[in-house]
């Protein structure tokens, strides 16, 4: 039986591949991030992803299926309730969520805001409504500069976001403010993430910086990351993985400011890390293009990853397993700007695949956790069915 001592889990954040059967319950009928982008741009040119079977999963304009893909392929359904980042990543790590995190389409209730204002020793806040991160700082930026009050906003996700100009509320103070919010937003008003959203610039020329920081809730039970750590197996986090798991089950963490830098960090870790799990998230798809309905930008970001993929594959060892997937959809062709309830692609590669075959439609993202548990011979999480024996022929 083939043995692996490193697993590389690469998450293309929001790259969904078709509506789930319950998509109508989320208002996401017709969502298909990959296929709808392909239709709108006249076809995608992703030869490296095509070679490992992306076109074998679903009919995608420009990406044909091939007879002998050099990876195994399939797609996964989300068993958890919801369609947010934390829910998707936690499910990959073996935790299925039965109740969605709270969202606040009308802004946060008075008792939450009052507690927050008191806790940060300010006399008020601005905003307190769902909004785009760039729009909210344009709308309230002038008042923020005049009053020094933080700008609070949310989205269709379970987030409490706090925007502040770095010269008005310095970075460390903003992080402390977020920590106050995190202590308030639990129980009845629990949200998945409190997010620091710093910006710089003059009135009319504001721009957000790379000093964003997420303060997430911790996973309620042990994940596959914890199981690995318990057995002294390294877990390296790249991108926002550390934030998503609130640092739980992470050995080392590297923050990235772009998809490209995330890929560079991954390539470097492939050269340096001896064993364990390398868990990488590429967030630009979601943050820069999906939420902003930027179809062309999303397509270009897919091409950027495809162009880089040979560098990743060339650094894989004989004992490496690469899994490429996503955490939800965020179809930029839809009217809204929210995540979309979709299947996610599953591509599983190692150096000795000569003729990859279908892994079918998996019932849960947690099949990844079950597979990792079998590879490293650690205690499995409660959810998921391993596909390990389907990829070692």
pLDDT tens, residue by residue, 210-244:
899 999 999 999 999 999 999 999 999 999 999 99
Beta strands in 80-175 (DSSP E): 126-130, 151-154, 159-165
The mean per-residue pLDDT over the stretch 104-123 comes to 95
What would the pLDDT profile of 35-50 be if each residue is shown by its tens digit?
999 999 999 999 999 9
According to DSSP, the residues that pair with 324 across neighbouring strands are 10, 347
Distance between CA atoms of residues 168 and 186, nearest Å: 28
Q: Would residue 60 be called left, alpha or beta, if left means φ above 0 and alpha means ψ between -120 and 50 degrees?
A: beta
Nearest to 364 by CA among 85, 101, 97: 97
The answer to whether residue 1 scores a pLDDT higher than 70 is: no
Considering the domain architecture, whether residues 15 and 137 belong to the same structural domain is answered as no
What would the pLDDT profile of 161-191 be if each residue is shown by its tens digit?
999 999 999 999 999 999 999 999 988 898 9
User: What CATH number is associated with residue 347?
Assistant: 3.40.720.10
What would the pLDDT profile of 261-313 be if each residue is shown by its tens digit?
999 999 999 999 999 999 999 999 998 999 999 999 999 999 999 999 999 99
User: What CATH number is associated with residue 145?
Assistant: 3.30.70.1250
What would the pLDDT profile of 363-378 be if each residue is shown by its tens digit?
999 999 999 999 999 9
- Look at residue 365 and tell me if it is in a domain: yes
Considering the domain architecture, whether residues 232 and 322 belong to the same structural domain is answered as yes
According to DSSP, the residues that pair with 215 across neighbouring strands are 194
Considering the domain architecture, whether residues 139 and 185 belong to the same structural domain is answered as yes
Q: Indicate the residue among 216, 248, 282 that finishes a domain.
A: 216
SS3 23: helix
List Cβ neighbours of 329 (8 Å cut-off, separation of 6 or more): 14, 15, 16, 17, 28, 31, 32, 33, 83, 290, 339, 340, 341, 342, 344
What does 148-213 look like in DSSP terms, one character per residue? -PPEEEE-SSSEEEEEEETTTS-HHHHHHHHHHHHHHSSGGG--SEEEEEEEESSTT--EE-S--E
Distance between CA atoms of residues 95 and 208, nearest Å: 33
- Look at residue 101 and tell me if it is in a domain: no
Distance between CA atoms of residues 387 and 371, nearest Å: 6
For residue 132, what are the domain limits? 110-216
Considering the domain architecture, whether residues 353 and 376 belong to the same structural domain is answered as yes
- Look at residue 366 and tell me if it is in a domain: yes
Q: Indicate the residue among 216, 244, 262 that finishes a domain.
A: 216
pLDDT-based confidence at residue 393 (cuts at 50, 70, 90): low
The mean per-residue pLDDT over the stretch 91-104 comes to 93
Considering the domain architecture, whether residues 277 and 383 belong to the same structural domain is answered as yes
pLDDT-based confidence at residue 250 (cuts at 50, 70, 90): very high
- Look at residue 197 and tell me if it is in a domain: yes
CB-facing half-sphere around the CA of 175: CA atoms within 13 A: 7
Cβ atoms 123, 109 nearer than 8 A: no
- Look at residue 359 and tell me if it is in a domain: yes
Q: Indicate the residue among 216, 244, 270 that finishes a domain.
A: 216
Distance between CA atoms of residues 232 and 377, nearest Å: 12
Cβ atoms 296, 36 nearer than 8 A: no
Cβ atoms 365, 9 nearer than 8 A: no
Entry pTM: 0.91
Considering the domain architecture, whether residues 234 and 326 belong to the same structural domain is answered as yes
């Amino acid at each position: 039986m083939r043995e692996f001592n490193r697993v590389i889990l690469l998450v293309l954040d929001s790259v969904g591949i078709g509506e789930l059967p319950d998509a109508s319950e989320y208002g996401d009928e017709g969502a298909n991030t990959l296929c709808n982008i392909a239709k709108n741009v006249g076809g995608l040119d992703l030869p490296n992803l095509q070679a490992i079977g992306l076109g074998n999963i679903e009919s995608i304009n420009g990406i044909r299926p091939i007879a002998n893909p050099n990876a195994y392929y399939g797609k996964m359904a989300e068993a958890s309730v919801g369609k947010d980042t934390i829910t998707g990543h936690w499910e990959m790590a073996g935790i299925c969520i039965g109740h969605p995190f709270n969202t606040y389409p009308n802004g946060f209730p008075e008792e939450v805001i009052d507690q927050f204002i008191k806790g940060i020793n300010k006399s008020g806040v601005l905003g307190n409504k769902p909004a785009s991160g760039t729009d909210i700082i344009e709308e309230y930026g002038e008042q923020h500069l005049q009053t020094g009050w933080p700008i609070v906003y949310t989205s269709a996700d379970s987030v409490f976001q706090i925007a502040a100009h770095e010269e008005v509320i310095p970075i460390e103070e903003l992080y402390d403010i977020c920590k106050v919010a995190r202590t308030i937003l639990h129980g009845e008003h629990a949200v998945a993430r409190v997010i620091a959203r710093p910006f710089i610039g003059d009135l009319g020329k504001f721009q957000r910086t790379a000093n964003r920081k997420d303060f997430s809730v911790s996973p309620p039970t042990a994940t596959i990351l914890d199981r690995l750590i318990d057995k002294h197996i390294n877990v390296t986090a790249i991108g926002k993985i550390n934030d998503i798991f609130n640092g739980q089950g992470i050995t080392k963490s590297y923050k990235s400011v772009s998809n490209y830098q995330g890929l560079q960090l991954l390539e470097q870790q492939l050269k340096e890390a001896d064993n364990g799990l390398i868990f990488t998230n590429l967030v630009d798809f979601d943050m820069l293009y999906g939420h902003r309905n930027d179809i062309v930008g999303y397509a270009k970001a897919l091409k950027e990853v495809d162009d880089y993929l040979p560098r990743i594959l060339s650094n894989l060892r004989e004992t490496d397993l690469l899994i490429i997937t996503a955490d939800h959809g965020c179809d930029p062709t839809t009217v809204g700007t929210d995540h979309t309830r979709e299947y996610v692609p599953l591509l599983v590669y190692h150096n000795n695949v000569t003729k990859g075959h279908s892994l079918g439609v998996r019932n849960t993202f947690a099949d990844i956790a079950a597979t990792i548990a079998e590879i490293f011979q650690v205690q499995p999480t409660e959810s998921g069915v391993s596909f390990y024996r389907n990829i070692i022929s």
